[in-house]
Amino acid sequence: GAGVSQSPRYKVAKRGQDVALRCDPISGHVSLFWYQQALGQGPEFLTYFQNEAQLDKSGLPSDRFFAERPEGSVSTLKIQRTQQEDSAVYLCASSLPYGQGEKLFFGSGTQLSVL
């Protein structure tokens, strides 16, 4: 596609509900990242995939957060039993095989509000 696509654009969940956020990276991009951006803060790293392999998940805040990319393309970030502190914008980014200076292409994000 033309860019990184994320859906839904907005998600409202009641506390305790499970949510699934989708990311469609740019075709051919093997590296995929998830970031969490709280209101008024910079994005914080959650997890990183190279193709279908999850190489780094050190940023996932708890075991309620789970990410997958089973076929090395589309990725889903799942949050179980959502809490109010999970409210944030979740950003997905993709790149060619990621090296130190590689440019990331970001989606517009999914804004999650947990009530």
Chain positions contacting another protein, by CB under 8 A = 3-4, 33, 35, 40-45, 48, 55-56, 91, 93, 98-101, 103-109
Alpha-carbon separation of residue 7 from 58, 80, 92, 99, 112 (angstroms): 24, 17, 10, 27, 11
CB of 18 to another protein, least distance (A): 26
Nearer to another protein, 35 or 65 (CB): 35
The closest of 1, 2, 21 to 11, measured between CA atoms, is: 21
Burial level of 52, CB count in 10 A (0-12/13-18/19+)? Answer: middle
Nearer to another protein, 3 or 16 (CB): 3
Could you give the CA distance from residue 111 to residue 16 in angstroms, rounded to a whole number? 17
Q: How many residues does the chain have?
A: 115
Nearer to another protein, 47 or 82 (CB): 47
Tokens of residue 63, six digits:
């075991």
Nearer to another protein, 74 or 80 (CB): 74
CB of 12 to another protein, least distance (A): 17
CB of 3 to another protein, least distance (A): 7
CB of 37 to another protein, least distance (A): 8
